[in-house]
Structure 1
Amino acid sequence: MSKVSEKKITILIVDDNPKNIQAAAAILGNEGYDISFDEDGESALRHVQDTTFDLILLDIMMPNTDGYEVCRGLKENPDTARIPVIFLTARTDIESIVKGFEVGAADYVTKPFNEVELLARVKTHLKLKQSDARLRELNAAKDKFFSIISHDLKGSFNALMLGFDLLTDDYDRMSEDKKKNLLETMNTACRNTFDLLNNLLTWSRSQTGNMSCEPEIFDIREIVAEAVFISENAAKNKNIRIIAGIKENTLCYADMDMMRTVIRNLVANAVKYTASGGTVTISAKDCGDDLEISVSDTGVGIRPENIRKLFRIDVKHSTSGTAGEEGTGLGLNLCKEFVEKNSGEIGVESEVGKGSRFYFTCPKTEIRYEAGAS
């Protein structure tokens, strides 16, 4: 299995003069950046449709489609609008510079360019882009937090209060079966509220940096057994069978509490999105330096266009379970964060109407853990 590694920064150079491309590529390549190039504006606009770039160096004076038009096109496309564009230009008059900023350029470098200046401007705008991404992530997290408090948590408490009101007002007139059904419904609401609060508090601690990663050797079978126990009642109410096929002494090296949260959420989700009579299966596979833990279900499945939304905090995506259980998507965000903090990877395979398989890897040894964290 490949370790989690930092994504290499990609830069696109667009210039109709090959010598300018070679000079800029040599300077930036020495810094470890991944360089691509195009020699005309039309090619560049096509290139960005299928490749993601962190920054674009763009010549202004090019035949057919000049740099201004290319920049305008990039900024009008939501998929490329946030890529910083630095103009490479021999034109230093105020009118040309102002026009560049008006079409969306972040900066400009005059030609022939100075190596120190070029690197300084590129590094500055890459840092600004990273800061912008982090700020948007924090805003998305804040929005998610308030959405959960205002909608999901409020909804859970409303269900509980309604149940208590019915018991208070109609207890003497209710049949024993009705009382039992109502109490079971309230018990489910209590468990859902507890799970939501647990995830919310854990996620809040992780976002504020108050949750350190403390890896140790432990038997993954033990925390799988805990997760099965926690989801047992919900599964029983839906006539779902949980099969935990993990051998004793299946050891891994990770933060035990974080892995407990990951497995608990994946098992709970599998039960939530599996219909009555279905099956949830938990298994482990030896992958050399890693263990791969899988939670498979015979549930409703996930549409391909929704799979990429599952682990993103900035995308609102949640659906109700097969018995109307509410979902927030927060649990999967936690799973991704905790798996990656422990040098692992997480993914999903799914087919609508047939079910899903969520899987993640975790290191088996301290050496593998440290290698993945480096």
Structure 2
Amino acid sequence: MSKATTEASNPELPEVNETSSVVLIVDDNPANLGVLSDFLDEAGFEVLVAQDGESAIAKVEYASPDIILLDIMMPGIDGFETCRRLKANTDTQDIPIVFMSALADTPDKVKGLSIGAVDYITKPFQQEEVLARVRLHLKLRFLTKQLAAQNELLEQRVQERTADLNKALDELKKAQVKLIQSEKMSSLGQLVAGVAHEINNPVNFIYGNLVHAKDYTDDIVEILQLYRDRYADNDPEIAEKIEDYDLDFLVTDLPKLLQSMQVGADRIRSIVLSLRNFSRMDEAELKYVNIHEGIDSTLMILHNRIKTKHDRPGVEIRKEYGELPQIECYAGQLNQVFMNLITNALDAVDERNKQLSPEEVKEYPGYVSIRSWSSEERDRIFVEVSDNGLGISEETRQKIFEPFYTTKPVGKGTGMGLAICYSIVVDKHSGQISCHSQPNQGSTFLVEVPVRQSHHDT
């Protein structure tokens, strides 16, 4: 008989050779055993024999056959019980069992098939029929094995492809973050440059002339005082004008007015300087800077969010600056990190204040704490931004650095702020950023960056 083979459609699967299969014959009749084993041996099968159920089970444990031909009426445990035990064992439950018995009643056949047998042959049997059924069930078994192997291989490839897709998705998100970050910084730089240019020149003109205006005013006031002393009493018209315009008030208030203008000009100059310092678009390369200047610039820009208003209580800013060395960084980008962290902290405090009564807010005011320190051993600096806002849940905390994840309502946030912070700190500066928070316990963000960068391409 020629060897029949069934090759797997996938080259990674093993080839199947039916005639190299092992057949176990279990029968207490030596004559049946001899005839059937010789016939199957001539057909090219490797044949094992057993004369009772116990010995069959023992033989299966050390020489697993590909198919079992099992008699029912045997000494000791019968074929039904032998079948049950084999099917109850995970190591042997997949071996196909074909009953061969003189019990030809339908209930016996139904019982045999119901406990796990794949076929039932009644005695006396025809050898060619047994051979045909053995071939059929071996082919089904091998096809089942092939299908299982293909499914396993397919599952493995699906897992690999899923991992590749997840990796590609993560890379895409990172690319989106970098693109948005770059666009935001570019837009911010253009805006700040335009605002600074348009405001700086007229402000400098006003600021520079206020000093002369004060001197001129002092001179004019002195002359007016002299005129009043010399001529007011002798000229009723002058005396009337002095009284109508309340010259004493004008002389007293005009210097105060000029002083207020001086303070306002100083304030505008400080804001322009803070905007330029915050953006640092003229310093796009790595440079050594004072981190505290960037934080103070951020606080200056956010002054309107911090101060008390008629419809909103102010937020206390607690600064605990340590001694920090100048660090090598992309200053504008790190300032963006502090802007995002402080803005989020102010938002959290505002939401907390909305849930409290004015008396409670007065007793337990909202605050944002900014601490900094350095580690000479690790050659790193640390900046911690904390608040006593509403805090966040553990589930949310694990997602806050993911792109486009936000807990804010529609129109209030894009979910990019903290993702950009993570990208700037971790990817651009080889640092770390972490968050510790609990609901109703506030939040703490810790930024850690090296004092010097390794000058790798970013």
TM class by shorter chain equals 0.3 to 0.5
TM-score, length basis structure 2: 0.37
**Greater helix share, 1 or 2?**
2
TM-score by length of 1: 0.45
Answer 1 or 2: higher relative contact order, Cα 8 Å, separation at least 6: 1
Structure whose CA Rg is larger: 2
